[in-house]
Amino acid sequence: KLIAIMVPAWQESDVIASMVANTNNTFDYSRYHIFVGVYANDPDTRREVEKVRQRFPNVHRAEVPHDGPTSKADCLNWIIQNILLYEEKSGQKFGAFLMHDAEDVVHPYGLKTVNWFVDEAAMIQMPVLSMDRKWTNLVACHYMDEFAEFHTKDLPVRSALARMTPSAGVATAFHRRAMMALVEEKNGQPFNTDSLTEDYDVAHRLSALGYPSAFVRYHARVPRQRKAWFRKGMVDIQRRELVSTKEFFPHKFFYSVRQKARWTLGISIMGWAQLGWFGGLVNRYYLFRDRKALFTAPVGMIGYVIVIQLLGLLLVEKIWPEAVNLPPVIDRRWVWVIVTINFLFLVNRILHRAWFTGLNHGIKHVPLTPVRIVTSNLISFGAFWRASRQWINHLFTGRPIAWDKTQHAYPSLSELQQGSGRLGDTLRFWNHVSEADLTTALEAQKADYRPLGLLLLDLGAVEDDHLAEAFAERGETYASIFDPFKIEPEVLNLLTVEEAARYGAVPLRRNGMNLDVALAEPLPPALRTALEKRFGRAGARSVRFLFAPLSDIAFAIRFAWSEDPFAAVREQLGRMRAAGHLDASREAMLWRSVRAGYARLGDILIRQGRITHADLQTALAASRADGRSLGETLTRLNMAAPADIEAALKDQRSARWLNEQLVEVLKNAPADSRHEPV
C-alpha cells in the first residue's frame, strides 16, 4: 500500500528535521510520503521542513493557511486536504493514513505492520512507549511505567472486550475507507476541532459509524548489530522486538502537568461533554475508567494530606507523648478489613506496573516503581487542577481552548543508534551524500589517505555547509555560517591570523566570559585543549565550539585580519538597501555565495592533482617552522613547480577578482533583481 504519514507541527523547529530524517532512514518500506503540517506564522518550523524537503523527495509541506496555534485536529484536517490535493495532482491514491508526532521515534517494521494489518480493521493502534530514561529522573520515568502497563496490558484487554480501541494520537493508522468516511461525515474535516484529544474522539466516531478498530502488538525479528564478544568489531544478529513507537516525554514537573492537563481536558472533561455515555456495559465501564481521573486525582491528594498529617501527629506523639492524645485511627474491625483488602489491591497494582515496566524497559527500573506512582499522582492532581481551570474559563468566557503545546526533545544520533557515529553515517542519515559517492570516497581514502570530509569536498560529493552540519551533529553542537567582517575586532584579534590558520578556527562572538568559536573540522584533543587554554589566557572562562563551512573559515583567514578589501562594494550595497532594492537576508545570501566559492591554496593543489595530502601536511609544518608562505615552502621542498603554484593562485579567487565580479554583476543587474545572489 501507498501510505501517507501525517505529522502536525506547531513550533517544532528543534525536532522536526531530526524526526523526518530518522523516519526516512528507519522505515524498511519504500511506498510512503510524509506530510508535515506547518502554520503560516511559524517560520522556524517552515525553515526546518524546507531543509528536509530538499534532502528527501517524499517529504511535503502541508500548508495551514492561518495563524496558529489552533488545535491539533485543525492542523490534521489541513494535512488531509493537502494529501487529497496531492492525490489529485499526482494521480496516486493512498491506501492508509498514519498519524505521528514530531517527537516520535519509529520502528523499522512500523509501515510493514500497517500494510499487513490495516485491512483487518479500519483503524489500528500500535504500541507507544517511552524512550528509556535515566532512573533518577522520576518525572520522565513515570511515563515509562504508565505507557508500559497501558500498552502491554490495558489496551489489549480493552480491544478484546470492548471491540473498540482508542487512538493514542501517534502510531495510529486508518484504512482509506475509514478516513474517507470521516471526511464525508464532517464535510472535509475528519478530526473534531472542538476536541483537544482528537485521537480519542475519532476512534469513538469510527465505532459509531460501524468501522472496527484493533490494537496490534506484533513482534518481529529485526536485523541489528552488537559488539562481538571475543574479538573487535560488530556482529550481525536477529533480535526479537516489539514493533512500537517511542518518544521522549517531558522530564520536568511543570511540562508534564501541562501535557497531562491537555489529556485530562480532552479525554475526561470534553470527552464526557461531547460523547456522553454510549455503547454496552463494557464500553461504558471503559468510558468510566477514562474519566475517573476527575475523581481519583483530588481524592488521592486528600489522602496524601491525611497521611502526612497523621504521620506528623504520630511523630510529635513519639517525641513528646504529653502533647497529643490521639484516638485510634480506625476503631471498627470491618473498616480494617476494607483497608486490608484495599491495601492488597494496591500491592497488586504496584506489582502489575513493576512487571510491565521491567518487561519493556529492564529490571533496573523496577525498584523505584512505587515512588514513581506517587510522582504520577502528584502530576495528575496538577493536571486536574489546570484542566478544570481551563474548562471553567472556557465555559464563562466562551473563548476556544488553544493547542497547549508540549515542549519536545528528540534523541541524538548516538541515542538512536543510527550507524557507528562516523562522519559517513551522519552524512547518509541526513541524505547529504549518496551511498555511491561515499563508497567511492572510502575506496579513494584507502589508496591515498585524506580526511573523509575533505575528500568528499574534493569529489564535489557534498556541500561544505552540509559537512559543517554533520560535524555539529556528531559533536552535539551547532553549525553556523558567518560574515567575518561583522565580527567585533576585539573578538577576532583573540587569535592571530597565523593561529587561526593553524587551528582552522575563527572567534565569532563574546558574551561576558563566554566565547563562541567556529571550526572548519573537529580538532584533535591536544589542539582543542591548547586552543581552550589560549582563550582562557585571554579571559574566556567558557568556550563553545561551533562548526562553520570550510569556505567561510578559509575566507575569514584570508581577508578578515586585514583591511576590508570589499568596503566599496559594501557601501554600494548599503545604498541599494536604503533604496529598498535589497533586504538584509538577500545581502547575506549574496555574501555567502561569494564566500562559498573560496578555497584554500593547499586544497586547490590537491584537487588539481599537484600534491598529496601527506605533502600538504609536511609543507604546512615546514611553513610554520620557517615563517614562509605555503607556496614558497612547496616550491623549496620541490613538491610543486612555481607554475603550478601560480595556476592555483589564479583559481583561488583574489579580492580584486571578487570585487570586479561583484561590481560587474551589480552594474548590469536590473533594479528589481539586484536582491538575487551571485
Range 361-372 average pLDDT: 96
pLDDT at 462 over 50: yes
Q: Find out whether 234 and 257 touch, Cβ atoms under 8 Å.
A: no
pLDDT at 293 over 70: yes
List Cα–Cα distances, 383 to 170, 293, 387, in angstroms: 21, 10, 6
Using only C-alpha atoms, what is the Rg of the chain? Answer: 31
Q: What is the rounded CA–CA span in Å between residue 114 and residue 31?
A: 12
Dig out the grid coordinates for 7 from the structure: 505529522
List Cα–Cα distances, 93 to 62, 96, 356, 493, 652, in angstroms: 17, 9, 40, 60, 52
- Mapped onto helix, strand or coil, the DSSP state of residue 25 is helix
pLDDT at 673 over 50: no
Would you place residue 420 in the very low, low, confident or very high pLDDT band (cuts 50, 70, 90)?
A: low
pLDDT digits (tens, 9 = 90+) for 85-108: 999 999 999 999 999 999 999 999
For the chain, percent of residues with pLDDT exceeding 70: 94
Q: What is the rounded CA–CA span in Å between residue 440 and residue 167?
A: 46
Predicted confidence at residue 417, as pLDDT, reads 55
Q: What is the rounded CA–CA span in Å between residue 336 and residue 85?
A: 66
pLDDT at 677 over 60: no
Q: What is the rounded CA–CA span in Å between residue 336 and residue 628?
A: 93
Amino acid at 519: L
Predicted confidence at residue 59, as pLDDT, reads 97
Instruction: Single out the residue of 5, 31, 29 nearest to residue 19, CA to CA.
Output: 5
Amino acid at 560: A
pLDDT at 445 over 50: yes
Sequential DSSP letters for 619-668: HHHHHHHH---HHHHHHHTTSS-HHHHHHHHHHS--HHHHHHHHHHHHHH
Q: Which residues of 618-642 are buried (b: 16+ CB within 10 A; e: fewer)?
A: bbbebbeeeeeebbbbbbeeebbee
Range 475-491 average pLDDT: 91
Q: What is the rounded CA–CA span in Å between residue 464 and residue 24?
A: 23
Query: Distance between the two ends of the chain, CA-based, in angstroms?
Result: 45
Cα pseudo-dihedral 386, 387, 388, 391, rounded to 10? 130
416 vs 179, residue with greater confidence: 179
Q: What is the rounded CA–CA span in Å between residue 610 and residue 607?
A: 8
Dig out the grid coordinates for 86 from the structure: 496531492
E-assigned strands of 414-469?
none
Instruction: Specify the CATH number for 3-132+144-247; select among 3.60.150.10, 3.90.550.10, 3.30.70.1290, 3.90.600.10.
Output: 3.90.550.10
- CB-based contacts of 339, cutoff 8 Å, min separation 6: 330
pLDDT digits (tens, 9 = 90+) for 195-226: 766 777 888 889 889 899 999 999 998 888 77
- Mapped onto helix, strand or coil, the DSSP state of residue 29 is coil
Range 24-43 average pLDDT: 95
Range 300-310 average pLDDT: 91
Predicted confidence at residue 253, as pLDDT, reads 95
Predicted confidence at residue 675, as pLDDT, reads 40
Lowest model confidence (mean pLDDT) among 425-439, 565-579, 634-648: 565-579
Dig out the grid coordinates for 240 from the structure: 526479537
Kindly report the backbone phi and psi dihedral angles of residue 355, in degrees, each rounded to the nearest multiple of 5, phi listed first: -60, -50
Amino acid at 310: L
Kindly report the backbone phi and psi dihedral angles of residue 508, in degrees, each rounded to the nearest multiple of 5, phi listed first: -105, -55
Predicted confidence at residue 676, as pLDDT, reads 43
**DSSP code of residue 327:** P
pLDDT digits (tens, 9 = 90+) for 131-180: 999 999 999 999 999 999 999 999 999 999 988 899 998 999 999 999 99
Would you place residue 407 in the very low, low, confident or very high pLDDT band (cuts 50, 70, 90)?
A: low
Range 306-326 average pLDDT: 81
- Mapped onto helix, strand or coil, the DSSP state of residue 226 is strand
pLDDT at 593 over 80: yes
List Cα–Cα distances, 447 to 148, 433, 442, 613, 655, in angstroms: 51, 21, 9, 12, 36
Range 110-123 average pLDDT: 95
Half-sphere exposure of 502 (CA within 13 A, CB side): 16
Q: Which long-range contacts (C-beta less than 8 Å, at least 24 apart) are formed by 180-183?
A: 181/122, 181/206, 181/209, 181/211, 182/206, 182/209, 183/80, 183/84
Would you place residue 449 in the very low, low, confident or very high pLDDT band (cuts 50, 70, 90)?
A: very high
Q: Which helix (H) or strand (E) holds 543?
A: strand 542-547
Q: What is the rounded CA–CA span in Å between residue 148 and residue 473?
A: 31
- CB-based contacts of 258, cutoff 8 Å, min separation 6: 250, 386, 404, 406
Would you place residue 659 in the very low, low, confident or very high pLDDT band (cuts 50, 70, 90)?
A: confident
pLDDT digits (tens, 9 = 90+) for 226-254: 788 878 877 888 889 999 999 999 999 99
